[in-house]
A and B are shown apart, each in its own frame.
Chain A
Amino acid sequence: MPDSAPRPSVATHCPYCALQCGTRLGHGASGTVVEPSDFPVNDGSLCQKGWTAPAVLDVPDRLRRPLLRGPDGRLAPADWDTALDTVATRLRRIRDEHGPDALAVFGGGGLTNEKAYLLGKFARLALRTSQIDYNGRFCMSSAAAAQNAAFGLDRGLPFPVADLDAADTVLLAGANPAETMPPLMRHLRKADLIVIDPRRTKTAERAALHLQPVPGTDLALALGLLHIAVSDGWCDKEYVQERTTGFDAAWRRAVTWWPERVEQVTGVPVAEQRAAVELLGEARRAYVLTGRGAEQHSKGSDTAAAFINLALALGLPGVAGRGYGCLTGQGNGQGGREHGQKADQLPGYRMITDPEARAHVARVWGTAPDALPGPGRSAYELLDALGTEGGPRALLVFGSNPLVSAPHSGHVAGRLDALDLLVVADFVPSETARTADVVLPVAQWAEEEGTLTNLEGRVLRRRRLLPPPEGVRTDLEVLHGLAVRLGEPAHRFPTAPRQVFDELRRASRGGTADYSGITYERLDAGEALHWPCPERPGGQPHPGTPRLFLDGFATPDGRARFAEVDHRDPAETPDADHPLYATTGRVLAHYQSGAQTRRVPELNDAVPEPYVEIHPDTAERSGLREGGTARVTSARGTTVARVRLVGSMRTDTVFLPFHHPGAGRANLITATALDPRSKMPEFKVCAVRIEPGSDAP
């Protein structure tokens, strides 16, 4: 069937989180309708975001024409040629005056594999810049760094989600799937859950054991759990001996984290630490899973590593029915980090500094290895450098809304303002798009073909039900149009997703994330293909790799590596001026910056405005009442939120969801300290004070 013909219904996937629930899209009386499919991760279920996803397709303010900021300072409609000509001309001018690194690209973890791949290629070939990174840096990068170091490879879950069905015990460190990916909870019904979270979340309410540490102390807790695992005899010595290296150095750090000391630092009672290790140790099938709560810290990669250490000591990774994994967040958080929109990477999860990788990718791209730029700035460093001396002067944003989602967003707004040129491709006028010089309206999920890779490393087909609205182009068409205007040969930037994917397969061949054996035909035939899936010329096709590491880890010697990590305080701890911890997170009804979900009436009604959760005692001391407004202030700024009294909160901590724009942006207060390895900002802990808002009596 030709791509342009309308279809009665298609099997595809939800546009939101990394679970990528299977859905069937069709046409109903009042527009597009969605039904969950029996795809293994959701098995007939959907959360409210998934059920209401079609509403995003025709929100009233859907972008349908390019917009150009005129001399009067207002955005006004323009035709595509004018818009693209303008962008290309100004990019050229800036590059001529300031060099290629004055041009920058900011991508997103929601982009398809094809878009992520072509965006990386566009930056390096058409713009010739090293300055490309993406919002996945704010999401997965800490766990990625830790997994790469420990296992030689980073795939969120190295096993299918459905394996969790049989688990006896699952430790969730800083993960709240009951809100962030509800259908996952169906796979956790049998298991005893151990939930580590400073808040009593919906997930914690389901836990057999909820450990409620002080924000910023998960690393001490993980070290303490390792300590108990060893001292109480739960360590699998044979596994450690045969399948790992580095235990002694890791243990010598954990030896100073005996349970009573961990209790003093984390507030988690000794008895509960022990109970957690016992639950894990006694289980035949146990899993340790981490989420953003443990990872979004200036020591996030060490914290993820410490949980991996625990899993290794218990003999979990690389054993059927057991394991460590990271619950990836964004829809294509996994695939988006594998194909070259990361500052330090080339397609196939190759390092941009690796001469062999450069040579291979340059060959596929038909250029010389020397023509490829080196590594660029990481996401926050990139945003922080915009418009500064030596920093980028033009920024192209695809699939991201950094004005809401980046830390210290008041500062980021100033950096975006300082640009000579800001171009945003989006399907709704996001907060970032509203500040752009040029806005390019692009197609969204149900209007395009492509692939995504979900949290279990399974490559999935996104299928097109509808043509994009008139006046809207696909991201691939936008990249093509710009590349050609910048002098690139047209064939280098194909617009057909399948063609791009075939090139991605070649570029990934031999890399860590090898997609070369995966084809649209195989996916369309219903094969469940988890990477790595190398092409086997002539022979039986490779079946993909649903379970990694069963025969050995992806390290040179096949052994997993313990990491020598130690605890330290977060960049900010409470003081007299800012006596409370603030932590940020997600609510079920919203996704990321909320640019999509705030436009869906049912979701917006569920959580229409920002709020702050606070213990009633703390509220009383601060003069706050339920339903009033509060000003929450850190060293970087103030955000305004509606007060919610929550008796299960720690008295020293407040919580804010980060999905709302404007004066209610939680990221106005978040910290910019970066993890030295992953460059993850410290979203999850900063010091604040809280005061009544303007409606106070």
Chain B
Amino acid sequence: MSAMHHVLVVGHGPAAHRLVERLRAHGHRGPVTVLGAERRPAYNRVLLTSVLDGTLTAGDLELPAPPDGVRVRTGVTATDVDRARRLVRTDTGETHRYDRLVLATGARPRIPRLPGLLTADGRLTEGATTLRTADDAEQLADGPVVVLGAGALGIETTLALLRAGRDVTLVHPGPHPLHDRLDDTAGALLASRLRSAGARLRAGRAAVEYRPGKLVLDDGEVLRADALALCTGVVPETTLARRAGLAVRTGIVVDRHLRTADPRVHALGDCAEFDGEVPGLVGTAWEQAESLARILAGHDTHHRAGRPLLRLRAPGLDLACLGPPEPSGATRHITLSDPARGRHAALALDGDRVAGAVLIGLPRAAAALAQLYARGLPVPSDRFALLLGTPAGAHPARVELPDAAVLCHCNHVTKADLLRAWRAGARDLAGIAAATRATTGCGGCADDVRLVLASATGAPATPSTGAQATATSATGGNGAP
């Protein structure tokens, strides 16, 4: 399409923001208009838990101003699309023409059916709030909090509120937190990590009634809930698309060009269903924004979905879920469970590739496996080192060094050179330095040299100041054939 077409974007979340920025980067020069329902400029929703724990303010989450020539209308909700005339109407009475329309309407929180939760006019009862927007995060009431739902958001929210010193109870109908992603062992470990962080956990319980200040559970327990945070999932926001007659299943159905059945209408992010999936992850939304920006700027390309992974924003917990809970094609399973130290790994392999994994408390493994999984790379042969996060060769044992081992790297002095100098009469560091130049560069080998001297003399070695003098140079041969 022409790089001069008018692109109208409905929605102003992170996906829309990224799309607009990348449009310019990929050469689109036409006018761009963005309609945002919230009054704020675009902000990074992912970090709302940082507002809850008090480390950032809602204002801190603001994203960069849009590129020149992009018109952003905030506090404006699109009400209907006239596809025949290529117009969008808004609740403020505006009409906006488009050449290409992008629906980036996101998702809205799922409100559970819970007696007392809604007032007669359909609003949330006092004290209850969803956690989708910056306003939500700022409005959370003081006092003891009940978090309803222990999915990713519920867990992150619980831990954030605990960091802020709040009294938190986490209520979850499943058998353990994140039960649709974790097996029992991992779930039990996560539960115990949440408890040790200070949360009261009510798993396997459903809420049956909410009254301001109180939440009643199905076993009759009444929890004090000055604030009730609803972390009960999201629903793709497809109202506008349905009204416009576009195909909607879970989300707005789009093809590999992120296009609806109407070639002039696209959708992306949390409202869009691509290849049967609505991952609801900002990483996915941004990948789609990148693809769609290229497509709208006229590049001959299409979208390829990345491999989604769930990585909780919860310092110290280090929880990652890669792939589906029961990956197809997995031929081997490796499990490492160390609940006493809060560590657990379940790795499903298809040949030497990662088909899926659940990791808790293994920060290095989480980082390494996420990369191998996302890029489809083979896992290293030393799988325990991988899971435990100890890079091979990082901590070589102190062994008897071969004579060719280079001990002073700065001056390329081998153990044999040192022994030769010792035999010629060099008995201390100064003598060794004069004879071989060892220790005269960076000085880091002094302890190693002392050890060799001591072993040659037959006396116990006394390295200075407990420095970690590992003989890592043993691998430093010069590569000569």
A contacts, CB < 8 Å to B: 36, 44-48, 51, 177-179, 182-186, 189, 200, 202, 205-206, 212, 214, 230-233, 249, 251-253, 255-256, 258-261, 263-264, 267-272, 274, 564, 588-589, 602, 605-609, 611, 615-617, 620-621, 627, 642, 644, 646-648, 651-652
Contact = CB atoms under 8 A, between A and B. Distances in A.
B365 to A, nearest CB: 9
Nearest to B393: A647
A186 B443 contact: yes
B90 to A, nearest CB: 27
A272 B365 CA distance: 12
Contacts of B367: 263, 267-270
11 contacts: A178-B442, A183-B442, A186-B442, A206-B444, A252-B65, A606-B412, A616-B381, A627-B479, A647-B391, A647-B475, A651-B377
Interface string B380-406: 110000000101111000000000000
B391 A178 contact: no
Of B366, B368, B393, B477, chain A has the most CB atoms within 10 Å of the CB of B393
Contacts of A264: 283, 309, 311, 370-371, 374
Contacts of B470: 205
A51 B393 contact: no
CB-based closest 3 A-B pairs: A647-B393, A185-B442, A647-B392
B444 A178 contact: yes
A259 B479 CA distance: 39
A1 to B, nearest CB: 30
B381 A617 contact: yes
B412 A48 contact: yes
Contacts of A268: 367
Interface stretch (B54-62, B124-132, B343-351): B54-62
A183 to B, nearest CB: 6
Nearest to A574: B375
A47 B441 contact: yes
Nearest to A189: B443
A47 B442 CA distance: 7
B411 A255 contact: no
Interface in B406-422: 409-412
Contacts of A608: 478, 480
B441 A200 contact: no
A543 B258 CA distance: 66
B46 interface: yes
A272 B55 CA distance: 19
B444 A261 contact: no
Given A255-B61, A264-B370, A270-B318, 12 more contacts: A36-B440, A51-B411, A258-B44, A264-B311, A267-B368, A267-B370, A269-B367, A271-B364, A607-B479, A648-B392, A648-B393, A652-B375
| Interface of B: prevailing SS | loop
B63 A255 contact: yes
B197 to A, nearest CB: 16
Given A232-B55, A264-B371, A270 B315 contact: yes
A503 to B, nearest CB: 38
Contacts of A185: 441-444
B133 interface: no
Contact of B363 (A214, A255, A271, A606): A271
Contacts of B55: 231-233
A51 to B, nearest CB: 6
Given A256-B63, A264-B374, A602-B412, A617 B380 contact: yes
Interface string B451-481: 0000000000000000000101001011111
B100 interface: no
Contacts, number: 163
Which bucket holds chain B's interface residue count? 35 or more
Nearest to A611: B479
Given A45-B441, A186-B443, A252 B368 contact: no
A231 B441 contact: no
A688 to B, nearest CB: 15
Nearest to B63: A252
Contacts of A233: 55
B472 A205 contact: yes
B75 interface: no
Given A47-B410, A255-B63, A605-B478, A200 B391 contact: yes
A476 B27 CA distance: 50
A214 B375 CA distance: 12
B208 interface: no
Contact of A274 (B64, B311, B315, B392): B315
Contacts of B475: 646-647
A182 B441 CA distance: 6
A615 B410 CA distance: 24
A231 B392 contact: no
A420 to B, nearest CB: 40
A272 B411 contact: no
Nearest to B477: A644
A631 B444 CA distance: 35
B50 interface: yes
A3 to B, nearest CB: 31
Nearest to B413: A48
Given A231-B56, A263-B311, A258 B46 contact: yes
A214 B371 contact: yes
Nearest to A615: B380
A336 to B, nearest CB: 25
A48 B283 contact: no
B391 A261 contact: no
A255 B44 contact: yes
Interface string B314-330: 01101000000000000
Interface in B52-91: 55-56, 60-65
Contacts of B377: 651-652
A648 B412 contact: no
B115 interface: no
Contacts of B62: 252, 255
Given A258-B46, A268-B367, A588 B61 contact: no
Contacts of B393: 200, 646-648
A605 B311 CA distance: 49
Nearest to B309: A264
Given A202-B409, A205-B472, A255 B442 contact: no
B47 A46 contact: no
Nearest to A274: B315
Contacts of B97: none
B371 A589 contact: no
Nearest to A579: B377
Contact of B366 (A261, A269, A274, A617): A269
Contacts of B478: 605-608
A643 to B, nearest CB: 8
Contact of B442 (A51, A184, A256, A651): A184
B313 interface: yes
Contacts of B65: 252
B40 interface: no
Nearest to B286: A256
B437 interface: yes
Contacts of B444: 178, 185, 206
Given A205-B472, A214-B371, A627-B479, A261 B394 contact: no
A410 B60 CA distance: 50
Contacts of A271: 316, 318, 363-364
B276 interface: no
Contact of B410 (A182, A189, A231, A602): A182
Nearest to A203: B442
Contacts of B481: 627, 642
B441 A46 contact: yes
Of A51, A231, A269, chain B has the most CB atoms within 10 Å of the CB of A269
A615 to B, nearest CB: 7
B76 to A, nearest CB: 23
A360 to B, nearest CB: 37
Given A48-B441, A200-B393, A178 B409 contact: yes
B425 interface: no
Of A232, A264, A616, chain B has the most CB atoms within 10 Å of the CB of A264
